[in-house]
Amino acid sequence: MTERIVLAYSGGLDTSVAIGWIGEATGAEVIAVAVDVGQGGESLEDIRQRALACGAVEAYVADARDEFANDYAMPTLKANALYQGHYPLVSAISRPVIVKHLVKAAREFGATTVAHGCTGKGNDQVRFEVGIQTLGPDLKCIAPVRDLALTRDKAIAFAEAKGLPIETTKKNPYSIDQNVWGRAVETGYLEDIWNAPTKDIYDYTATPEFPPAPDEVIITFAQGVPVAIDGHKVSPLQAIQELNRRAGAQGVGRIDVVEDRLVGIKSREIYEAPGAMALITAHKHLEDITIEREQARFKAAVGQRWSELVYDGQWFSPLKRSLDAFIEDTQQYVSGDIRMTLHGGAAIVNGRRSDTSLYDFDLATYDTGDTFDQSQARGFIELWGMSSKVASTRDQRAAGK
């Protein structure tokens, strides 16, 4: 029986050429796997037909938009996950769901190897291969660009020689990855980190310098998940899409950062994540009134570690699974409404309400009706500062000798 290889297929030049390139290099049959995570563009059927026209023996396509929003974007939201304090893990959280479908297709079609289009310099090769090793330990992995010398110029020449039904002449200077959670742009002109991004880079967001009138939105959460916008029920996918539209129109969610890649180099990245950043902002403000102080402080550290694990391709790891359990427990009372104004590139929270809030007006007020017993403060301060006071006394005594 001829060996079979499943290929993560985008429908673009490189992965279209990879179908025949892998076949010639290995003698195996190629099954193309395309997963819709909200990246837009062509229909799955068009992508399926192109894969078959480029030589794939089978084409597996999956509409995973709701799955991605529910099972990958929502855990990211609950963690308030921002890698290095900036990046909402746009590409990092899409790779595990793609991996899940690659392994599923490998089982369905009897493949022994999984292929992806990543280079040897990026994070995605790690995310794909660690995920595949975890979900399918018996499966092998190859990367045509990295392992089979498939460079772009060779890809163009191969496509033209074979008459493949893909565009080969237009060269976008940027590397772009996108899904419903956001959009990532790198390489080209951006590799000089002194260069400011040009307007043509952006697609999900309008220019914030000339915004339309302020847009006020009320986001309703239930246990950390958005369930309504302005009183209208929404699914997680619909919530992200609606805020992509509304926050994007105000230029919210533009991120320009130099980040630390897992492979040891620094990389300049431009991200657009209007829906993600608006939702994370709202969610964090709701947590501020519903999560107890010490729990919230510890959760911030957990969220940072969670972000690093996911960025580093460890979505399926035991530690990430354990952190998920803690984060999920913290969301028990994260329910209520956040009122937010979107305008000029900013998402500003100006109202909060929750039936499970820990904010007590009578304790917080300085007006008549204050129930906070200020007479207890003096003794509290004495005890709170006791260890520092004792240490300071020791230090002064030692310095005087």
**Residue 146 φ/ψ region, left for φ over 0, alpha for ψ in the -120 to 50 degree band, beta for the rest:** alpha
Which of 4, 124, 267, 307 is catalytic? The answer is 124
Q: Residue 356, annotated ligand binder?
A: no
CA distance 333 to 357: 8
Q: Check the annotation: does 357 bind a ligand.
A: no
Is 260 known to be catalytic? no
138 is catalytic: no
Q: Is 43 annotated as a binding residue?
A: no
Which one from 4, 14, 183, 307 is the annotated catalytic residue? 14
Whether 8 has a binding-site annotation, put simply, is yes
Question: Which is the catalytic residue, given 95, 183, 246, 254?
Answer: 95
Is 12 annotated among the ligand-binding residues?
A: yes
Can you tell me whether residue 48 is helix, strand or coil? helix
367 is in an annotated binding site: no
Pair type for strands 225-229 and 232-233: antiparallel
The answer to whether the annotation marks 342 as part of a ligand binding site is no
- Whose tokens are 């990389």? That residue is 267
CA distance 58 to 63: 17
- Bridge partners of 105, per DSSP, are none
Asked if residue 124 belongs to a known ligand binding site, the reply is yes
Contact 186, 267 (CB under 8 A): yes
Neighbours of 247 (CB within 10 A): 29
β-pairing verdict for 113-115 and 140-142: parallel
Q: Is 95 a catalytic residue?
A: yes
Provide the token pair at 359. Answer: 């904010």
Spatial separation of the C-alpha atoms in residues 34 and 15, rounded to whole Å? 10
Task: Based on the residue annotation, tell me whether 395 is a catalytic residue of this protein.
Answer: no
151 is in an annotated binding site: no
Q: Judge whether 10 is annotated as a binding position.
A: yes
106 assigned binding-site residue = no
Q: Is 117 annotated as a binding residue?
A: yes
Residue 15 annotated as lining a ligand binding site? yes
User: What gap in Å lies between CA 202 and CA 249, rounded to an integer?
Assistant: 12
55 annotated as a binding-site residue: no
* 119 is annotated as contributing to ligand binding: yes
**Amino acid letter, residue 203:** D
Give the H or E element holding residue 304.
helix 293-311
Edge-to-edge order in the sheet of strand 266-272: 175-179, 182-186, 266-272, 254-260
Of the candidates 66, 146, 175, 353, the residue annotated as catalytic is 175
Q: Is 83 annotated as a binding residue?
A: no
Pair 331, 109: CB distance under 8 Å:
no
Binding residues for L-citrulline: 87, 123, 127, 175, 259, 271
Binding residues for L-aspartate: 119, 123-124
Binding residues: 8-16, 87, 117, 119, 123-124, 127, 175, 259, 271
Active site residues: 14, 95, 124, 175
Binding residues for ATP: 8-16, 117
